[in-house]
Every structure is written in structure tokens, then in C-alpha cells.
């Protein structure tokens, strides 16, 4: 059974050569609109936003864009950024309902990642593993929902202004962190961002993340990281993790527009397998 997988661009992986995979673009709106697709000059966007002093925001794909991305496949899985921070999930669900009404007998299911970035790609990889094992559509859906209960997202940021301006974190916290030069380390909890620690210094930040990973049951499974111009820091994290868990399946990729906008330069997002995550309550539609 062949599946088509569609994510919104918060996944940071816009194309997968040779795979039946597509993304629908998020957008950043500032002095102009930046569409999160392979044609975007990301470095130019980041430099533009550094110089821009006006209001900026993000916007999600619409129902029509999701429908276009579904193509003409019989079985489709969609994976979205958390519904608590974006309308992408609701648009994808509406598109799925329309698609199945127009094509009786076809099946579409939308997973709410309750996160952003690399957690979406862990779910994509699990769908692919089920497909390779020959699992049918309903079995795959059940296995991925169960798998999602054992996935966790952490993040660390150098800068918080864009999150604060768009109501994702408290503005006062963002200002204090900026003045004091403090990094923040946080988690995705039930689809919301929660700031957990404010470590000072690179070494302390890495150790804080490793400690939080172990607290959440990480024992050397899959670890995926998306970063915004923070490769050196991510490689430090990789080395610290591999020193304790040599069998870790580690991968990394740069953030694209949406996650770059919110993570900002120096930020990165970590998704990992671990113990049961009671916060991942992914409802079926």
C-alpha cells in the first residue's frame, strides 16, 4: 500500500527526492511576504528581518493549498504544526474532509504534531516505516498515534522577540532575557511552548538539554534537530549525547522560513524518542 505524505513547511524538510511527499507553505509577512518554499532565499529573509523595525507575523496554508498538495492519491497522511499555535491543522482537516467527500473510498488522516520542526519529521519517518512493513492505512494510523505518545520536543533560543510579538511567549520574559543575555531552554507541552530553564553559557545550555532529555526517557533512540544558523552548537549537543548514548540515531537540518522566524539566529529545536509523553493527546477528527 502506497501512501502520500504531506506536511506544512514547519517540518523544515520541503522535498524528499524519490518519495511521495509534499509540503504546503507557511508564510512570513513583514515589509513583504516570504513564502516558505524551496524558491525562498532564506539568508536574504533573515537579513531583511534583522533590519526591519515594523510589525511582522506568520500565516498558515489555506484549505485550497492543502487540497492541491494531496494530489490524486488514494491514501494520504498529513502532519501539521500544533493546532494551538496555527490554523494549519484546521485547514488540513477541512481539506481532508472535502477530499474524501469528492473521492469516496479514499482515505486521509491528519496528525497534529502538537509541536513544530523535527517532531513532524519523526512522525513522517514512522509513517514511512509502517508503509515499508506493509501495514494498512488504519494500522499505520494507530501505530503512529501510539508512537507520538513517546516523542518529545525541546528547544533552545538566543532571542525571543518574534515569539513575543506574536503572543507565543510573555513579552516581559523576552525583554529580560534580551537585556541579561540569557538563553532559554523550553519544551512543547500539550501543543504550547513552555519555558523551563535559563542557563548561562554554552556548556551549561548543552548540559541542561541533555539532562532534560534523560528526564524524558531518552536512551539512545532517534534524535532529530533543526537549527537556525546554529550548526556548531548542535554538533556540541550531538557529541554530548553520543558520549552517553553511542547508539543514538542522530540527524540535523537547517530550519526553513517559519521555524527560522520563530527560533531566530542561534536557536534550535530537538525532537526525540523517550518515555510516555502524557502531553501528546493527539485527537482523531
> Each residue of 211-259: pLDDT tens digit?
999 999 999 999 999 999 999 999 999 999 999 999 999 999 999 999 9
Please count the CA atoms within 13 angstroms of the CA of 22 that sit on its side-chain side: 14
Domain coverage including residue 203:
151-273
| 248 falls within a domain | yes
| Domain-embedded: residue 285 | no
**Tens of pLDDT, residues 177-186:** 554 456 789 8
Tens of pLDDT along 81-107? 999 989 999 999 999 999 999 999 999
Same domain for 12 and 143: yes
Q: Is the pTM of this model over 0.85?
A: yes
pLDDT for the residue numbered 124: 98
The CATH number covering residue 172 comes to 3.30.1180.10
Please tell me whether residues 9 and 144 are part of one structural domain: yes
Q: Domain end: 120, 148, 176, which one?
A: 148
Band (pLDDT 50/70/90 cuts) for residue 198 is confident
Helix pair 63-70, 88-102: axis angle to 10 deg: 50
Q: What's the rounded Cα separation, in Å, for the pair 188 and 191?
A: 6
Q: What is the largest CA-CA distance in the chain?
A: 58
With a CB cutoff of 8 Å and minimum separation 6, the contacts of 39 are: none
The answer on 56 and 9 residing in a single domain is yes
My answer on whether 142 and 14 are in the same domain is yes
Could you report the per-residue pLDDT of 13-46, keeping only the tens digit for each? 999 999 999 999 999 999 999 999 999 999 999 9
Which residues, listed in sequence order, are joined to residue 59 by a DSSP beta bridge?
Answer: 27
In which residue are the cell numbers 556540541 written?
A: 236
pLDDT of residue 161: 63
Q: Which domain-ending residue is among 97, 114, 148?
A: 148
Amino acid at each position: 500500500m502506497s501512501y502520500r505524505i504531506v506536511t506544512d513547511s514547519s517540518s523544515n524538510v520541503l522535498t524528499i527526492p524519490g518519495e511521495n511527499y509534499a509540503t504546503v507553505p507557511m508564510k512570513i509577512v513583514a515589509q513583504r511576504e516570504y513564502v516558505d518554499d524551496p524558491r525562498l532565499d532564506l539568508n536574504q529573509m533573515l537579513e531583511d528581518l534583522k533590519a526591519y523595525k515594523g510589525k511582522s507575523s506568520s500565516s498558515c496554508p489555506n484549505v485550497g493549498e492543502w487540497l492541491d498538495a494531496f494530489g490524486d492519491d488514494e491514501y494520504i497522511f498529513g502532519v501539521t504544526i500544533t493546532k494551538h499555535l496555527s490554523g494549519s491543522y484546521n485547514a488540513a482537516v477541512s481539506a481532508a474532509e472535502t477530499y474524501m467527500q469528492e473521492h469516496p473510498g479514499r482515505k486521509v488522516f491528519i496528525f497534529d504534531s502538537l509541536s513544530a520542526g523535527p517532531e513532524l519529521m519523526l512522525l513522517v519517518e514512522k509513517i514511512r516505516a509502517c508503509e515499508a512493513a506493509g501495514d494498512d492505512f488504519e494500522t499505520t494510523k494507530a501505530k503512529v498515534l501510539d508512537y507520538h505518545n513517546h516523542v518529545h520536543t525541546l528547544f533552545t533560543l538566543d532571542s525571543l522577540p518574534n515569539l513575543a510579538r506574536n503572543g507565543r511567549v510573555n513579552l516581559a520574559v523576552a525583554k529580560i532575557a534580551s537585556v541579561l543575555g540569557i538563553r532559554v531552554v523550553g519544551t512543547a507541552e500539550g501543543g504550547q511552548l513552555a519555558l523551563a530553564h535559563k542557563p548561562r553559557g554554552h556548556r551549561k545550555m548543552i548540559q541542561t538539554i541533555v539532562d532534560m532529555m534523560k528526564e524524558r526517557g531518552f536512551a539512545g533512540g532517534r534524535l532529530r534537530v533543526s537549527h537556525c544558523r546554529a550548526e556548531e552548537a548542535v554538533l556540541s549537543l550531538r557529541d554530548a549525547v553520543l558520549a552517553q548514548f553511542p547508539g543514538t540515531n542522530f540527524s540535523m537540518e537547517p530550519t526553513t522560513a517559519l521555524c527560522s522566524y520563530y527560533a531566530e539566529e542561534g536557536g534550535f529545536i530537538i525532537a526525540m524518542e523517550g518515555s510516555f509523553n502524557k502531553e501528546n493527546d493527539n485527537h482523531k477528527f
